Amino acid sequence: MHAPTATPDAARVGSDTIAALRLKLPHAVLDESWQTPTQATLTVKLDELPNVVSTLYHEHDGWLSVMAGNDERTINGNFALYYALSMEGAEKSFIVVRAEVPAATEEFPSVTPLVPAAVWHEREVRDMFGLTPVGLPDERRLVLPDDWPDGLHPLRKDSMDYRLRPEPTGDDETYQFKNDAKGETTVVPLGPLHITSDEPGHFRLFVDGEDIIDADYRMFYVHRGMEKVAETRMGYNEVTFLADRVCGICGYAHSVAYTTSIENALGIAVPARAQAIRSVLLETERLHSHLLNLGLACHFVGFDTGFMQFFRVREKTMTLAEMLTGSRKTYALNLIGGVRRDILGEQHVATLRLIGELREEVTRLVEMLLATPNLEGRVKGVGILDPGIAREYSPVGPTVRGSGHRRDTRVDHAFAGYGGVAMPVNVGDGCDVLSRTLVRVSEFFDSLSIIEQILADAPGGPVLTEDFTYKPHKFALGFTEAPRGEDIHWSMTGDNQKLFRWRCRASTYANWPVLRYMLRGNTVSDAPLIVASIDPCYSCTDRVTVVDVNKASSVTVPYKEMERYCRERTNSPLK
Amino acid sequence: MFKLLKEVLRTGEATVKYPFAPVEVAKDFRGKPEHQAANCIACAACTVACPANALGMETDAGAGTRTWSINYGRCVFCGRCEEVCPTDAIRLTPDFELAVAVKADLVRTAVFRLAPCVACGKPFAPEKEVAYVTALIEATAPSEADAERRRQLVATCPACKRAHDLGQIAGSRVVRAMETSR
């Protein structure tokens, strides 16, 4: 008889960090469980939650990736919060800090005062679960509309059917927009909301003449309730196709993140070829997304010929996606356990041919773009994201890399087929729109060589495994590096062939909170350019209300007019 | 400026003639799913697999029919229906032009007759599904008597099967023996 051998700690990345944490806060950790060799979940005392998250964040190079609330009253009588930290110090791993919130109090100490990156997540948990973050300075709703009934918290298991849409009770917007301007402040009048054909979001710029003193904005006008519908209507594999539709640009990244989360939770060994194919498709998605953003960058500086050229060449990446997946967008190729289509010999050859053409054409276009005389004047030193602000708010993707932080999920937490791939992490230290644009340019060329590498090295074999069974209440994180940065999903399986909880955090969710700081100190005409430089899931600001803090007046400028002003920089709409 | 002009000249005309000329799609493009009612046995496998609830199945017991339907307005062209179909009755085509003038035209239906149960006479399953299963299990029957027994089994509704089983168990010697021994 052999004694059962405990998994040696050396195989578990992150165990040293946890040991150090236990040493510093001796009585905080109640329980430790490991979902994968690089993913640990620590259940901590509720009172110690802010300290634990802050210690991991500030002393062990942690970045807050996502926080998920969960209504676990049917499992253990409490609500639970999961703060997922991406540890990017000596040990690259994920540590999830879990705390149970008693159903009797529905309160927890806010982490935001110590770790500002938690602000949107805690506001969302208050909306969706009715849990009060005590000490959270921002008391506004995040997701729910102003006239949503108090006390109706959609993600509580006993709250509502997913089809319920409470009738609107009023047209008034009661949301308070924040303005930290030192000078005279103004009560901002609210006009009616125009839901145009573009996606709606509401920006408010507080200006002094042409200079932006502060900015605030509001999203979630089109919250689709995907998490609720996934929990209540769809089976595990069906959610894969829903995840594909989280975003029209980086949907496949979400689909991979979701399937990876379930595969991690259940310990499914996905065939190596399937993982390689996932990586090829993720890079294909990055190719088209970065070309789209480069095209838009041209458009916003008034260089529409460049915009047309980038979009013309981008069509080749769409052809590539169509050939490999059968669809230009929403590839729908994932299942839990692998992919649905192999890359065949002739597709392999055609891919390499298209990659060659793209490399040549985009090299020419980038040269052309950078040689355009007024480009640098428009993008250099504009929309500065201070590295310190970035560190506080945990933004992701080219937005954070443009400010000198070396973060890339593909390298930090190799997933899918990125394990053996040689790739650099491109960073820029300009912290401005130019820096972020150049990071995207470099990443575009990296993606081309990553696809070539993976195609050359991919092993043969099956592309799908069905050799697993679903077990209830297993949970884990799944993550990908989408074109705009890390997408991260936290999933827990249920006992009825449905998810118990699915928390899907898109990359732009992590990037919005820093935008305010990027807008400050710039001129109104640069605003659309700065917004576009984080490549938000939409760059449409719907319409913009401009408030002159000195004249205490306000004017509402239609978005199209703002965009025109950004391109032409004549006939200011403010005059 | 010079580079830009060179690029523009090199490109020439990039605009395609679509919609005045057809546009070529990739070989395995996933477009409009086409249903072959002749092949379909109304087993409903596709309606279970469909993530978007574009496929539906409704039974009208009174009329003795089951209606299969597809709503192209809901379809996401994932092709899961094609994967699960046992009879090759639904296939994705390269057709991507689905615009209609009237919304109702996005819905296509196929009506199937239900077979009556041989025991109680009530309709219980699509005729074609019963025939399909009968053919399948008949082919593997070891003897003619066995094949006949299987035919009866398939043509009986679940309710009648349960009632029949209960009757048989109640009448069997084992049960009587158990009852008397107590």
The pLDDT tens digits of the residues spanning A310-346 come to 999 999 999 999 999 999 999 999 999 999 999 999 9
Q: Which residues pair with A479 in a beta bridge?
A: A488
Cβ contacts of B28 on chain A, cutoff 8 Å: 323, 326, 341
Task: Give residue-wise pLDDT tens across range A111-121.
Answer: 999 999 999 99
Question: Which candidate, A38, A16, A131, places its Cα nearest to that of A82?
Answer: A131
pLDDT for the residue A191: 28
Is the pLDDT at B7 greater than 90? The verdict is no
Please tell me the distance from the alpha carbon of residue A393 to that of residue A416, in angstroms, as a whole number. Answer: 27
What local confidence, expressed as pLDDT, does residue A557 receive? 66
A354 has a pLDDT exceeding 90: yes
Of 3.20.10.10, 3.30.230.10, 3.30.1950.10, 3.30.70.20, the CATH number of B22-180 is 3.30.70.20
How many whole angstroms separate alpha carbon A274 and alpha carbon A541? 39
CA dist., res. B167 & res. B165, Å (int): 5
Nearest chain B residue to A331 by CA distance is: B78
* pLDDT value for A265: 97
Inter-chain residue contact B7 with A238, CB threshold 8 Å: no
Taking residues A423-439, what's their average pLDDT? 93
- Integer Cα distance of B134 and B115 in angstroms: 12
The better pLDDT of the pair B26, A206 is held by: B26
Question: pLDDT digits over A460-507, tens only?
Answer: 999 999 999 999 999 999 999 999 999 999 999 999 999 999 999 998
Contact B28 A326 (CB under 8 A): yes
Banded pLDDT at A555 (limits 50, 70, 90): low
Verify whether the Cβ–Cβ distance A241 to B52 is below 8 Å: yes
Choose the mutation target among B30, B77, B81 for the interface with A, i.e. most A CBs under 10 Å: B30
A196: pLDDT confidence band, cut at 50, 70 and 90? very low
Topology annotation, domain A15-116: Beta Polymerase; domain 2 (3.30.460)
Question: What's the confidence (pLDDT) of residue A96?
Answer: 97
| Minimal CA separation from B3 to chain A, in Å | 6
Interface check for B23 against chain A (CB to CB < 8 A): the answer is no
Predicted local confidence at residue A273, as pLDDT: 96
Query: Which one is predicted more confidently, A113 or A301?
Result: A113
Predicted confidence (pLDDT) at residue A68 exceeds the cutoff of 70 = yes
A–B interface: beta-carbon pairs under 8 A? 57
For the segment A391-409, the average pLDDT, to the nearest whole number, is: 95
pLDDT score, position B105? 95
Least confident of A162-171, A254-263, A431-440, B113-122: A162-171
A236-517 has which CATH code?
Answer: 1.10.645.10
Structure tokens belonging to residue A69? 């609330």
Q: Write the ipTM.
A: 0.86
Q: Do B76 and A241 touch (CB under 8 A)?
A: yes
Q: Sorting pLDDT into bands at 50, 70 and 90, what band is A541?
A: very low
A-chain residues near B78 (CB < 8 A)? 241, 332
Q: How much of chain A, in percent, has pLDDT values that exceed 70? A: 89
Question: pLDDT band at A194, cuts 50/70/90?
Answer: very low
Domain spans in chain B, listed from the N-terminal domain onward: 22-180
Question: What's the alpha-carbon Rg for chain B, to the nearest Å?
Answer: 27
The pLDDT mean for chain A works out to: 87
Q: Which residues of B touch A237 (CB under 8 A)?
A: 51
- Mind telling me how many Å the CA of B26 is from chain A's nearest CA? 5
Question: Which residue shows structure tokens 């090759």?
Answer: B88
The shortest C-alpha distance from B181 to chain A (Å) reads 42
Note whether B3 contacts A368, CB cutoff 8 Å. Answer: yes
Q: Does B78 touch chain A (CB under 8 A)?
A: yes
Q: Write down the domain spans for chain A.
A: 15-116, 140-223+548-575, 236-517
| Residues of chain B with C-beta less than 8 angstroms from the C-beta of A337 | none
Contact A322 B26 (CB under 8 A): yes
pLDDT at residue B110 greater than cutoff 80: yes
Whether residues B51 and A241 touch (CB distance < 8 A) is answered with: yes
Three-state secondary structure string covering chain B: CHHHHHHHHHHCCCCCCCCCCCCCCCCCCCCCEEECCCCCCCCCHHHHHCCCCCEEEEEECCCCEEEEEEECCCCCCCCHHHHHCCCCCEEECCCCCCCCCCHHHHEEEEEEEEEECCCCCCEEEEHHHHHHHHHHHHCCCCCHHHHHHHHHHHCCCHHHHHHHHHHHHHHCHHHHHHHHHC
More confident residue, A177 or B98: B98
Chain B residues touching A327 at Cβ < 8 A: 29-30, 77
Reported pTM = 0.90
A124: three-class secondary structure by DSSP: helix
A374: nearest CA in chain B?
A: B1
Distance between first and last Cα of chain B = 103
pLDDT of residue A432: 94
Give the mean model confidence (pLDDT) for residues A178-202. 51
Residues of B with Cβ-Cβ distance to A239 under 8 angstroms: 51
Other C-beta atoms lying within 10 Å of the C-beta of residue B42: 26
Nearest-angstrom CA–CA distance, A95 and A53? 10
Q: CA-to-CA distance for A309 and A363, rounded, in angstroms?
A: 12
CB-based contact B30 A327, cutoff 8 Å: yes
CB–CB of A364 and B7 under 8 A?
yes
Residue B149 confidence (pLDDT) above 50: yes
Residues in a beta bridge with A571:
none
Taking contacts as CB-CB distances below 8 angstroms, the residues of chain B near A245 are: 76
Q: Is the pLDDT of residue A190 over 50?
A: no
Residue listed under structure tokens 């506001």: A123
Q: Tell me, what's the pLDDT at A547?
A: 52
d(CA A404, CA A394): 13
Rounded to whole angstroms, the Cα distance separating B76 from A248 reads 13
Mean pLDDT of A95-116: 96
Of A86-95, A99-108, A177-186, A373-382, the poorest mean pLDDT is in: A177-186
The neighbouring-strand residues paired with A526 are: none
Written as one letter, the residue type at A570 is: T
Nearest to B77 among A319, A327, A373 (CB): A327
Going by their DSSP bridges, the two strands A202-208 and A62-72 should be labelled as unpaired
Most B CBs within 10 A among A238, A305, A336, A375, hence the mutation to make, goes to A238
Range scoring the smallest mean pLDDT among A65-69, A535-539, B92-96, B177-181 = A535-539
Lowest mean pLDDT among A43-52, A172-181, A463-472, B49-58: A172-181
Cross-chain residue pair B3–A332, CB shorter than 8 Å: no
Contact state of B4 with A330 under an 8 Å Cβ cutoff:
no
Which residues of chain A are within 8 Å of residue B79 when distances are taken between CB atoms? 326, 332, 340
- Nearest residue to B92 (alpha-carbon basis) of A463, A326, A342: A326
Residue A208: CB atoms within 10 A of its CB come to 15
Which site among B3, B13, B24, B95 would you substitute to test the A interface, given the most A Cβ atoms closer than 10 Å to its Cβ?
B3
In single-letter form, the type of residue at position A150 comes to D
Judged against a pLDDT cut of 80, whether residue A4 lies above it is answered with: no
Strands (E), A45-182: 62-72, 78-88, 92-102, 107-109, 132-134
Q: Do B29 and A327 touch (CB under 8 A)?
A: yes
Task: Give the per-residue pLDDT at A6.
Answer: 44
B76 touches chain A (CB under 8 A): yes
How crowded is residue A473: how many other Cβ atoms within 10 Å of its Cβ? 15
